[in-house]
Amino acid sequence: ACGCAACDHHCRVWKHPRSPRAQRGRCLCKQRWSRSTLVGSEEERDGGVLFLVNKSGFPLDGQTWERMWGHVERVHPDGSAVAAAIRSAARLARPSVPPVPNYKLCMSIPEWLQAIQTYMKMLQYPSGARGSGAVRMSGLMETAREMTRESLPIKCLEAVILGIYLTNGQPSVERFPISFKTHFSGNYFHHVVLGIYCNGRYGSLGMSRRSDLMDKPLTYRTLSDLIFEFEDSYKKYLHSVKKVKIGLYVPHEPHSFQPIEWKQLVLNVSKMMRTDVRKELEKFARDMRMKILKPSSAHSAVKERSRGKSLSPRRRPASPQRRPCRRDKS
C-alpha cells in the first residue's frame, strides 16, 4: 500500500524490475490508471505511461490502431461518441492549411513583418522550446520549407527559423537571435525570439504563449529599448531575467554553410545596472551595424591557419644558372 495523499484509498506500488527495493517504486494513484483501464500489456510494463508508442512501424497494425482509439475514448470528454463518429464517417474534412504569405511591392516592411507574424499565429503551438545547436543555414532553410508544407505546430525556436526563411528576400531587413534565461518559482526558463533591425528601428518576431513575449513592432530606436521592453513584460508574469544572449546578423543567402551565431554577446543582467546593460547593448549594436563583428567560427579558422603550416606550397630554391653546352644550343 502506498498511502499517498493524492487519493483517498490505498493502491499498489509499481516496482521497477531492476530495483530490489520497493522504496524506489512509483505510485500510480496520481495517474488514476488501474489494471482494468489499461489497454494491452505494454502500458502495464511501462508503468502506465500516458503516451502510446507505436513499435510496429507503418502502416499501423490492428492492435496499435485499437489501442490508440481506446486512448481517445478515455481522454476525450465525449468518450466513445467522438471515436464512433469519426470512425463511421464516410468522408472527413481536410484540415485547414494556412496559406504562406507572399510579399507584394505595395507592402511596407512593417506590413510584411505583420503578415509573417499573423501566419505564425495561425500555426497553433505547444509549450516548451527545443535546443538550438550549431546547424548550417542550408539545413535550417530546408526545415523551414518543411514547416510551410506540413503546417504543423511550432515552438519559439521554429518561429525564429521560419522568420529567417520568410525574410530572406528583404536585404534591408537585418535578423539576429535574442535569447532570454528567466527564473520563476525555483525553475529556469529559456526563450528565443528573432530580433529585427530596419531603417534605424528595432523590433522582433517570435512565438510564445504570452502575447507580449513574442513579436514587437518596428518602433524601438535602440536595441536596449527593445531588450528592456521584454524585461518589463517578463516582470508582469513574475519572471526575473537572468541572462540575455544576442547573436549576429543572419546572412540572407539561403544556401550558406555558415552556422547561426546565437550568443555573440552574453549579459548577466541580474548582476548589472541598467546603465551598464544599455552601454554594452549600444556598443554591440553599433558594431553590428558597422559589420565589424565576425562569427566565432571565422576567428577560429584564422587562428588555426596562423598556428599551422602554410597552405600554399613552398617554392624550391632557384638552381644556379649554368653555362649552355653544345647539346643545349642544338
Cα 61 to Cα 55, 68, 297: the distances in Å are 10, 11, 48
**CA 94/CA 21 separation, integer angstroms:** 52
Helices 109-122 and 156-166: angle between axes, nearest 10 degrees: 140
Instruction: Give the max Cα distance, the chain.
Output: 115
Pick from 102, 105, 132, 129: which is nearest to 118 by CA?
102
Question: Does residue 255 carry a catalytic annotation?
Answer: no
Question: Does residue 252 carry a catalytic annotation?
Answer: no
Q: Which of 208, 224, 233, 239 is catalytic?
A: 208
Backbone torsion region of residue 47, taken as left when φ is above 0, otherwise alpha when ψ lies between -120 and 50, otherwise beta:
left
Cell matching residue 13: 506500488
Pick from 105, 226, 263, 250: which is nearest to 173 by CA?
250
Question: Does residue 208 carry a catalytic annotation?
Answer: yes
What is the chain's alpha carbon radius of gyration, rounded to the nearest angstrom? 29
Q: Which of 2, 179, 191, 224 is catalytic?
A: 191
Cell matching residue 86: 469519426
Q: Which of 156, 198, 204, 224 is catalytic?
A: 156
> Which amino acids are annotated catalytic?
156, 191, 208
